């Protein structure tokens, strides 16, 4: 029975995921493009013209390469389909783990809570690291729980999978302790405290050793790991903004999980009693709930909402079984008001996931028309193109341009005709005055203040003309694309 329900949950998850539509997100374009460049380096010795490892939040030769292979088969939709497959398998692994630690009914309820959540839907539709990294974390937990009655399979398979998860996306490191703790609790239930301690210590030691070996073989990853994860600079968001965003994404699910944790720790939990002693049940509930809160707390402390809508999905995977306990607890006695509450909570979870994920896919404008216009303007191996979020057209037009032809609006240095090296606005001013750019694309997004100044310079210049404007509207408001082209006299 629960197997059939699980299939229904997966169908619902897939349907809610594929309905999300937009052109390539900046991160997608960056990672898939990098994967193509790494592949070209491996296969043909072509330079990448970039140091991806210095600022990527995962090893550039892992997920980006796999995504680029999928992209080469059928474009961005194939790369996104890869993420959807990862997300669906992750839901199945949650069900399998929940079935062994709790019971089948709780497991399928947990799968539902996770499957319809905003982070799950977004991760399953974006060609970024997250879905693959979470799949690996989930796989490691399943390995440890599945073979909790015997040492060798878990100790051989679990550490390398966790290490692969860490280097697929460095933020997965935050969930390694929870993964080890959950599997150790399963071992303690099945074989006792001493084997559980040995399991935890051995897996921890092997993960540390394998990670050190990985970094020794690829020391260039240190810079990216340090700057993006281990020592990330504080962001500019308020703690309230981070907390409210986290609540919007997974607040209802975590609230239900909190209720489930209390119920599960009672002497008579609302699920069939198993062999798990109450102290272990309390410990398991604490670990799962703490994992669920890890990303919100971490990003509240660092004051950044960046990628929060995806990171909270990692913790939700751990906390979802507790939410399943609460939902199934409502069916302990079949009174109409309990069924009504259960139905309302399920509808609320689905509605929240649908609306929040749809809003997230409205965070950036559709670039299709702009890219189509640029395709008629760019020239291979020559020409310089200043574009806000240049990663997107660079990805779409990689077949006819080189990476070094694209310049962004976040940082720019320019040597003027007198030989002076300029940065920031003076660099853009001098480059426009000299007609350095063949085309300039503004969208008044993250660098809107600079764009306004650049538009004034371009309008006042006799070197450029406005060739097109495309109004758009995102979740942040209305704006417009502009393409300026140099007039060759």
Phi, psi angle pair for 151, to nearest 5°: -75, -50
Q: Are 257 and 292 in contact (CB under 8 A)?
A: yes
| CA dist., res. 365 & res. 480, Å (int) | 9
The pLDDT tens digits of the residues spanning 455-464 come to 999 999 989 9
**Three-state DSSP class for residue 365:** coil
pLDDT over 70 for what percent of the chain?
Answer: 99
| CA dist., res. 458 & res. 464, Å (int) | 6
In the DSSP assignment, the letter for residue 486 is E
Q: Are 416 and 434 in contact (CB under 8 A)?
A: yes
The pLDDT tens digits of the residues spanning 284-298 come to 999 999 999 999 999
- Give the per-residue pLDDT at 450: 94
Q: Which residues pair with 379 in a beta bridge?
A: 382
419 — pLDDT class (breaks 50, 70, 90): confident
pLDDT of 335 strictly over 90? no
pLDDT of 349 strictly over 60? yes
- Give the per-residue pLDDT at 101: 94
What are the C-alpha distances in Å from 15 to residues 19, 20, 119, 355?
A: 6, 9, 15, 14
**Three-state DSSP class for residue 147:** coil
Site of tokens 């193509």: 36
- Give the per-residue pLDDT at 489: 54
Query: Containing H/E element for 104?
Result: helix 104-115
What are the C-alpha distances in Å from 185 to residues 179, 242, 283, 383, 438?
A: 10, 32, 8, 60, 62
278 — pLDDT class (breaks 50, 70, 90): confident
For residue 149, give the nearest of 114, 104, 100, 105 by alpha carbon.
Answer: 100
In the DSSP assignment, the letter for residue 300 is H
| CA dist., res. 137 & res. 230, Å (int) | 19
Domains of the chain, CATH where assigned: 2-360 (no CATH), 368-486 (3.40.190)
The pLDDT tens digits of the residues spanning 25-77 come to 999 999 999 999 999 999 999 999 999 999 999 999 999 999 999 999 999 99
Range name among 320-324, 377-381, 387-391, 430-434 with the lowest pLDDT average: 377-381
- Give the per-residue pLDDT at 274: 63
The pLDDT tens digits of the residues spanning 366-382 come to 999 999 999 999 988 78
pLDDT of 121 strictly over 90? yes
Phi, psi angle pair for 285, to nearest 5°: -60, -40
Phi, psi angle pair for 198, to nearest 5°: -65, -45
The pLDDT tens digits of the residues spanning 160-175 come to 999 999 999 999 999 9
Question: Counting beta carbons within 10 angstroms of the beta carbon of residue 192, is it exposed (0 to 12), middle (13 to 18) or buried (19 or more)?
Answer: exposed
150 — pLDDT class (breaks 50, 70, 90): confident
219 — pLDDT class (breaks 50, 70, 90): very high
- Give the per-residue pLDDT at 193: 92
Mean pLDDT computed over every residue of the chain? 93
Q: Are 308 and 299 in contact (CB under 8 A)?
A: yes
- Give the per-residue pLDDT at 359: 94
């Amino acid at each position: 029975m629960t197997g059939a329900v699980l299939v229904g949950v997966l169908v619902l998850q897939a349907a809610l995921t594929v309905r999300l539509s937009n052109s390539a997100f900046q991160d997608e374009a960056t990672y898939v493009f990098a994967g193509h460049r790494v592949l070209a380096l491996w296969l043909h010795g072509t330079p990448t013209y970039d140091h991806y490892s210095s600022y990527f939040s995962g090893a550039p030769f892992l997920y980006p390469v796999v995504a680029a292979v999928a992209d080469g088969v059928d474009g961005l939709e194939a790369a996104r389909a890869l993420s959807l497959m990862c997300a669906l398998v992750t839901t199945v692994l949650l069900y399998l783990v929940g079935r062994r630690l709790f019971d089948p009914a709780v497991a399928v309820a947990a799968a539902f809570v996770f499957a319809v959540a905003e982070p799950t839907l977004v991760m399953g539709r974006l060609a970024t690291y997250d879905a693959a990294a979470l799949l690996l974390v989930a796989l490691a937990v399943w390995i440890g729980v599945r073979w909790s009655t015997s040492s060798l399979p878990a100790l051989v398979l679990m550490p390398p999978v966790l290490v692969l998860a860490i280097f697929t996306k460095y933020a997965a490191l935050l969930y390694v302790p929870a993964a080890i703790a959950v599997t150790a609790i399963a071992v303690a239930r099945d074989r006792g405290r001493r084997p559980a301690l040995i399991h935890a210590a051995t897996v921890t030691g092997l993960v540390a050793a394998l990670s050190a070996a990985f970094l020794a073989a690829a020391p260039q990853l240190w810079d990216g790991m340090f700057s993006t994860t281990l020592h990330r600079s504080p962001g500019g968001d308020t703690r309230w903004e981070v907390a409210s965003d986290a609540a919007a994404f997974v607040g209802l699910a975590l609230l239900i999980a909190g209720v489930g944790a209390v119920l599960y720790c009672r002497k008579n939990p609302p699920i069939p009693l198993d062999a798990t002693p109450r102290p272990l049940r309390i410990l398991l509930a604490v670990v799962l709930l703490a994992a669920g809160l890890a990303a919100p707390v971490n990003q509240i402390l660092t004051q950044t909402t960046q990628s929060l809508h995806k990171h909270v999905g990692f913790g939700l995977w751990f906390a979802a079984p507790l939410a399943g306990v609460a939902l199934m607890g409502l069916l302990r006695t079949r009174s109409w008001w309990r069924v009504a509450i259960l139905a309302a909570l399920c509808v609320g979870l689905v509605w929240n996931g649908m609306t929040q994920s749809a809003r997230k896919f409205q965070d950036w404008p559709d670039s299709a028309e702009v890219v189509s216009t640029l395709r008629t303007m760019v020239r291979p191996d020559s020409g310089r193109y200043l574009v806000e979020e240049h990663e997107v057209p660079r990805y779409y037009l990689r077949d006819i341009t080189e990476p070094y032809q694209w310049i962004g609006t976040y940082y720019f240095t320019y040597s003027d005709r007198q030989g002076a090296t300029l940065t920031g606005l003076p660099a853009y001013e001098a480059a426009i005055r000299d007609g350095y750019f063949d085309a300039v694309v503004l969208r008044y997004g993250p660098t809107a203040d600079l764009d306004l100044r650049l538009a004034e310079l371009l309008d006042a210049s006799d070197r450029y003309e406005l060739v097109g404007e495309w109004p758009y509207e995102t979740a942040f408001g209305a704006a417009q694309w502009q393409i300026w082209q140099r007039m060759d006299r």
